[in-house]
Amino acid sequence: VPTIASTDAPTSALAVIYTPEGQFSEYLMIPTNPNMVIMDTGVVSRAPVRLLVSGMGDALSTYFEARANKVSGCQTMAGGASTLAAQAIAELCYKTLLADGYKAKLAVEQGLCTKAVENIIEANTYLSGIGFESSGLAAAHAIHNGLTQLAECHHLYHGEKVAFGTLVQLVLENAPMAEIETVLAFCRSVGLPTNLHMMGVKELDMARLMEVAKASTAEGETIHNMPFKVTAEDVLAAIVTAHQLGL
């Protein structure tokens, strides 16, 4: 019975373990999913708006990571191959964010629940949760894990880092500029960070950013689900490029 919609964790059988310092440690796979997830939309809509927006950031990556896994044919987080249903859920998640994210933010800023808020709660929690678990994670969440190497980013919520990770993934893919602009415009409309300065990184220290890139490409990381080989050097270049695009 989650009282916030800040991540897609409630529906999944996956937990994320962090070190006491706030750095990513490992994924913990739980044997079964919850039998039921119950959300009081009135309670969720009265929580701080930043939590709902963070959930949108987490959900933003679902479609793009699912799309990458579909191309690469890598195993999903739940095991096995992705399905048409999983891909459709992931795409619906993205479309719902674009359609209702800004409207939901405005309502929750006033502590109110509208149809848009209900749709975003569903997207953040259910569509994203089932979408990522049944399709797979890729670069965006690996970039998030790498960013936990920076103490300046420890104050950020999970979805805020994932949103920037999504931009980095799009740069890695050399996605069309129109698609990148759509994602940037969405992030700006709801208040998700689009560059490193907004995340607390005052100066671009290439050595420290390389530590982020190396952590993002560690053995077993989900970035290796991308449909092409990704090196730490590739990630560093994509991080800096995404930062410049998002200024």
Catalytic residue list contains 154: no
Question: Would you say the pTM of this structure is higher than 0.75?
Answer: yes
pLDDT for the residue 192 = 98
Q: Three-state SS for 74?
A: coil
Query: For position 185, what pLDDT does the model report?
Result: 98
User: pLDDT tens across 79-119, in order?
Assistant: 899 999 999 999 999 999 999 999 999 999 999 999 999 99
Question: For the chain, which residues score pLDDT lower than 50?
Answer: none
pLDDT at position 89 is 98
Contact 14, 133 (CB under 8 A): yes
Let me know if 197 is a catalytic residue.
Answer: no
Q: What is the pLDDT of residue 7?
A: 97
58 as an active site residue: the answer is yes
**In this predicted structure, what is the pLDDT of residue 39?**
97
Q: What is the pLDDT of residue 28?
A: 93
Residue 100: active-site member: no
- Catalytic position from the list 100, 158, 234, 243: 158
- Rounded to whole angstroms, the Cα distance separating 150 from 19 reads 13
User: 8, 40, 100, 144: which one is catalytic?
Assistant: 144
What pLDDT score was predicted for residue 10? 96
Question: Of 8, 40, 100, 141, which is the active-site residue?
Answer: 141
- Out of 58, 100, 234, 243, pick the active-site residue: 58
pLDDT of residue 37: 97
Kindly calculate the radius of gyration of the chain based on its CA atoms and give it in whole angstroms. 17
pLDDT score recorded for residue 72: 98
Nearest to 62 by CA among 98, 31, 28: 98
